[in-house]
Structures are given as C-alpha cells and as structure tokens.
Amino acid sequence: MAKLASSKRAEKSKQSELKELRSTGKVPAVVYGYETENTSLSVDENEFIKVIREVGRNGVIDLEVADSGTTQVMVSEYQFDALKNQITHIDFIAINMQTEVTVDVQIELTGEAPGQKEGGVIEQPLFEVSVTAKPADIPETIEVDISELNIGDSIHVEDIRSKGNFVIENEDADSLVIISAPTEEPEEDENAEEESVEVEATAQKNDEADSEEDEEK
C-alpha cells in the first residue's frame, strides 16, 4: 500500500494563501470520513501523482497526517486546472477496509477483434461501470477481451460479472463493446452524372448562341 505524506493547514485559507501554496508545488486537500474529523491538509503534487500511478484512481493510500498518525483513504475527487496543468484540490475519504464502497471503474479493451480486420467498427457504449466491493477488492480497470468478436458480435455486462470479487451495479443488458458492420458509401448515380454533363453542355451552347446574336446586332 502506497504512502503519502501530508501537512495540516488552516481550516479557512485565503485565496492568496492557497495560491502561494500551489506555487510551491503543494496541493490543498481535505480528509474526512470513517472515524476521521474533517481536516484541511496539503500534499506534494508530484508525490500524489506518483502514488496515483502506483495504486490507480481507486487505490487505497496510507495518508500520513502530522500529529494524527496514518489514515487509510481513497481519493473521492480531485480538481484539475487544464490551462495551468495543475491539480488544484483533492478530497480524501477515510475508509473502513471491511466496508464495501461503490466507485466507477474503467473498462479496458484488450486484443484485436477479427471483425475489425474485416472492416468492422468497434463501438464502446460504456467506458466505465459502477462497482461495489471492499476497498482491497476494487480493480484498477476491468479488462474485456475482444479477440473473438466478429462483425455483429457484442459483449454485455452479464458477460463479465464473474471477473472478480466485486459486484457490477449496471444492468446485465448494458453493452460494453459492439463490432458494427462498416458503413457503405452510397454508389454514385452515373445516369445523373451524364444528365448533369448534358445540361451543362446545353447551357454552354445556349450562352454561345446568345453571344453570337448580340454580336450580329
């Protein structure tokens, strides 16, 4: 289990103080939840990113809080400023490892579908599913093998329910991936094209005739 150090900060920080904090590479954060008082913290942004890469978005983290020991947490949510390429705030939720939680888990397609080689199109209606499990049993991703799918085949939630020690809350009939037939381009109407050429030629002859009459006048 990955560890992440944190420092306590004032409960109500001014915007100027938060801006200064972020300028030093720290991220304002808060922790709350199981047997934990709502506490304002800050963590190192680079260290947080390393931890998330190690345990995944739904992984359990040992959050070290100064003067309060270590608390097992998950990331409830975090805010990201795309313009500044910076994490601006993190919500940690303290958890009981024996109590189930419900989170969204990403669907990862693996393999290459034969139907795709034949020109079929891969459609993925769902990129995440809702999963309920004890924190230690939550998968980082759920892999869905598409290596046997031909054109017209599909995989539904009911096909992956036995993949781990967790419950998928989505409906059985929800589609995860579909191999659709390629879209046929409409054939060009040769007769219409010939008629168009004839019309243009006729119009050009009429224009030439009108021009000759004008010259004679």
Instruction: Give me the CATH number covering residue 10.
Output: 2.40.240.10
pLDDT-based confidence at residue 194 (cuts at 50, 70, 90): low
Q: Is residue 211 part of a domain?
A: no
Summarize the confidence of residues 145-155 as an average pLDDT. Answer: 96
* Beta strand residue intervals within 34-140, DSSP E: 36-44, 61-65, 69-81, 86-94, 101-110, 121-123, 128-133
pTM for the full predicted model: 0.74
Whether the predicted pLDDT of 16 surpasses 70: yes
- Give dist(CA 106, CA 138) in Å, integer: 11
For position 215, what pLDDT does the model report?
A: 53
- In this model, does residue 95 exceed pLDDT 70? yes
Asked whether residue 14 falls in the same domain as residue 51, the answer is yes
Residue 182: predicted pLDDT: 85
Asked if residue 209 has pLDDT above 60, the reply is no
Same domain (yes/no): 86, 8: yes
Q: How far apart, in Å, do the first and last CA atoms of the chain sit?
A: 98
Query: Mean pLDDT, to the nearest integer, of 135-144?
Result: 93
Higher local confidence (pLDDT), 65 or 4: 4
Over residues 45-56, the mean pLDDT reads 94
Residue 140, pLDDT above cutoff 80 = yes
Residues 8, 34, single domain; the answer is yes
Confidence band of 138 (pLDDT split at 50, 70, 90): very high
Q: Are residues 78 and 141 in the same domain?
A: no
Query: Per mean pLDDT, which range of 86-90, 116-120, 136-140, 202-206 is the poorest?
Result: 202-206
Same domain? For 74 and 123 the reply is: no
Pair (71, 105) in one structural domain: no
Does 165 share its domain with 150?
yes
Residue 12 and residue 82 in one domain: yes
d(CA 172, CA 158): 4
What CATH number does the domain containing 169 carry? 2.170.120.20
Position 196 scores a pLDDT of 56
Residue 81 placed within a domain: yes
**Domain-ending residue, one of 50, 77, 94:** 94
Candidate from 10-14, 133-137, 163-167, 195-199 with smallest mean pLDDT: 195-199
Q: Are residues 134 and 166 in the same domain?
A: yes
Q: Which of 35, 62, 94 is the last residue of a domain?
A: 94
Domain boundaries, position 158: 101-180
d(CA 197, CA 186): 20
The pLDDT score that the predictor gives to residue 14 is: 79
Assess if residue 201 is contained within a domain: no
Q: Pick the more confident residue, 57 or 208.
A: 57
Residue 185, pLDDT score: 63
Same domain, 9 and 77: yes
Helices (H) and strands (E) in the chain, counts: 4, 13
Residue 106, domain member (yes or no)? yes
Number of domains making up the chain: 2
| Contact of 63 with 31, CB cutoff 8 Å | yes
| Same-domain check for residues 35 and 89 | yes
Q: Are residues 46 and 83 in the same domain?
A: yes
Residue 61 domain-assigned (yes or no): yes
pLDDT of residue 195: 59
